[in-house]
A and B are shown apart, each in its own frame.
Chain A
């Protein structure tokens, strides 16, 4: 893994490196360099298996974190390439040309987080939702409970509890400590 990281550092400006396990390392890079780095990893470092593209919503900082997880089947190591993009007008360079299934991840992220990947095949087509006209539902400001209350009729006789409060009162009454 160290050789790979050194090779990457000689070509790209890596910001912070986190060695999570001896076969899994996360590193951060500027938005503009993320797809070139993923391309470099695929073409020159043997990371031929694209595991996933994931997003973490850091709403407090006004940013999305995109994580490209790649695997090198020969060396049996993983790298997570992290990059941050603004939540406002969230747009990222598409990586659909590198692996066939990347377009599916990008299509889902467009629908669920509103992150655009211009040029990605079928990126504007509905993937999981149908006729959705609210804000992208995986964004943290989307309130699931409020949406349910406004959209669905309450069933007479049914009760709902806050799970945490319920557990506190029923299960852990004695040893519960306030934060």
Chain B
């Protein structure tokens, strides 16, 4: 794939018509001078993902300052957890990232099991992997064509949503829920595979490959999309650690980081796949990485379905939920969500209630520090594209 290098910074290299810069390298902005406009993008705006808003200061059509504002979806989950029994945390924690709830289930359940010293059955590990990968897949089916949607290319979104519905049907069959599943409880999972699930899942996965091909034809070869996405929203490789960038955003900048490979959990070390890594680090490359991820995930689901043992228990018995006291201790558990490393820091004081549960989602750095940096010097029309290319999920910022 031949792509142009980022031109955004070169294009804006002449600073004479822009604000003066202070010794800290930041723009000196005087709103009363009449040269600037302040625009609020969101919290209700088609170009903003989820419930957050961007306070943009513009000079002409160029962004000279950007601030992320969150809090529109704050439900105080981490406070509520301190008054919930461990089992009661489960229905609440999944709401910390609405479109991809299963990663929450896994991280919390795994942290409790680690602190309580519980080993889950082999079959439960495979079923958890199935739910995690299905969750990643349905999220990617929204996000990959959604990147085209930010530039007015809506048709891919319709296709993606159709196939996502097929995955949600499978979730409904497996767990009883379409969006919130509460499938992975501490000790294992809630249920076994329904009869004939494997065949139906394989058929749905076939649709993923078909839609991936169509998205490739319509989006990635589209001249308008390429013009809007190549070279825009460039993330310097040196920013990866500086801003705590993970997942597809890091892999599009040449960093091979995937929790499933680097810190294998469940039975991921028994699967065979390559982590997609590209280098151009712009909107186009990040969308392309997610498009590749989508197919890798579909492939992993096929492998998992082949390997799930037919017999065996799927849940280790756990104590009475009302009197379950978790031994004193603390841990950090991570998993690879569609957005990158997703982690739970859990502290137990030995009582029946968690002392502290703290989520670290990828958007905490992507949508605040990184987005505020990336938007400087961007064109106002590129703001939605840049934001969606980071795959931000506001609920995980304001738990």
By a beta-carbon cutoff of 8 Å, the part of chain A in contact with chain B is 18, 20-21, 23-24, 26, 48-52, 54-57, 67, 69, 73, 76, 78, 80, 99-101, 103-105, 126-130, 137-138, 140, 142, 144, 163-164, 167-168, 172, 175-177, 179
Q: How many A-B residue pairs have CB under 8 A?
A: 116
Separation of A99 and B397 alpha carbons in the complex (Å): 18
Q: Beta-carbon contacts of B345-358 to A below 8 Å, as 1s and 0s? A: 10100000001101
Q: Which residues of A are found within 8 Å of B369, using beta-carbon distances?
A: 100-101, 103-104
A49 to B322, CA, bound (A): 38
B180 to chain A, nearest CB (A): 18
Contacting pair A49 B241 (CB below 8 A): yes
Residues on the A chain within 8 Å of B355, using CB: 56
Residue picked from B239, B241, B347, most chain A C-beta under 10 Å:
B241
Given contacts A51-B360, A73-B262, 9 further A-B contacts (CB under 8 A): A20-B329, A24-B332, A78-B332, A105-B364, A137-B79, A144-B79, A163-B88, A167-B322, A172-B322
Distance in angstroms from A94 CB to nearest chain B CB is 15
- Which of these binds chain A: B70-78, B134-142, B223-231, B291-299? B70-78
- Assess A164 versus B322: contact at CB under 8 Å? Given A49-B241, A56-B347: yes
In the complex, the answer to whether A99 meets B322 with C-beta atoms within 8 Å is no
- Nearest-Cβ distance from residue A104 to partner chain B, whole angstroms: 5
Which residue of the partner chain, among A51, A137, A163, contacts B84 with CB atoms under 8 Å? A163
> Which residues of B68-99 have CB atoms within 8 Å of chain A's CB atoms?
70-71, 74, 76, 78-80, 82-85, 88
Q: Is B257 in the interface zone, CB < 8 Å from A?
A: yes
> In whole angstroms, what is the CA distance A142 to B355 when docked?
15
Asked if A49 and B244 sit within 8 Å, CB to CB, the answer is yes
Contacts of A172 in B (CB 8 A): 320-322
B79 touches A24 (CB 8 A): no
Known interface pairs A52-B345, A104-B364; A128-B74 also in contact (CB < 8 Å): yes
Interface SS majority for chain B: mixed
How near does chain A come to B173, taking the closest CB pair, in angstroms? Answer: 26
Cα distance A26–B331 in the bound complex, in angstroms? 9
How large, as a class, is the contact surface on chain B? 35 or more
Q: Judging by beta carbons under 8 Å apart, are A23 and B263 in contact? A: yes
Please tell me if B379 contacts chain A, counting CB pairs below 8 Å: no
Q: A52-B345, A101-B368 are in contact. Are A130 and B71 (CB under 8 A)?
A: yes
Complex CA distance for A144 and B263, rounded to whole angstroms: 38
**Interface residues as binary, B276-319 with A (CB distance below 8 Å gives 1, 0 otherwise):** 00000000000000000000000000000000000000000000
Report if B169 contacts A (CB, 8 A).
Answer: no
Q: Which residues of A contact B329 (CB under 8 A)?
A: 18, 20
Given contacts A51-B244, A78-B332, contact A129 B321 (CB under 8 A): no
Which of A49, A99, A138, A163 is packed against the most chain B CB atoms within 10 Å? Answer: A49
Is there an interface contact between A168 and B80, defined as CB atoms closer than 8 Å?
Answer: no
Q: How far is the CA of A118 from the CA of B122 in the complex (A)?
A: 50
Which residues in B have their C-beta under 8 angstroms from that of A24?
331-332
Set of chain B residues within 8 Å of A20, measured between Cβ atoms: 114, 329-332
Tell yes or no: B398 within 8 A of A by CB: yes
A69 touches B332 (CB 8 A): yes
Q: List 21 A-B contacts (CB under 8 A).
A: A20-B331, A48-B241, A51-B360, A52-B343, A55-B356, A73-B257, A78-B332, A80-B330, A100-B242, A100-B244, A100-B365, A101-B368, A105-B364, A128-B70, A128-B71, A128-B397, A128-B398, A129-B71, A137-B79, A144-B83, A167-B85
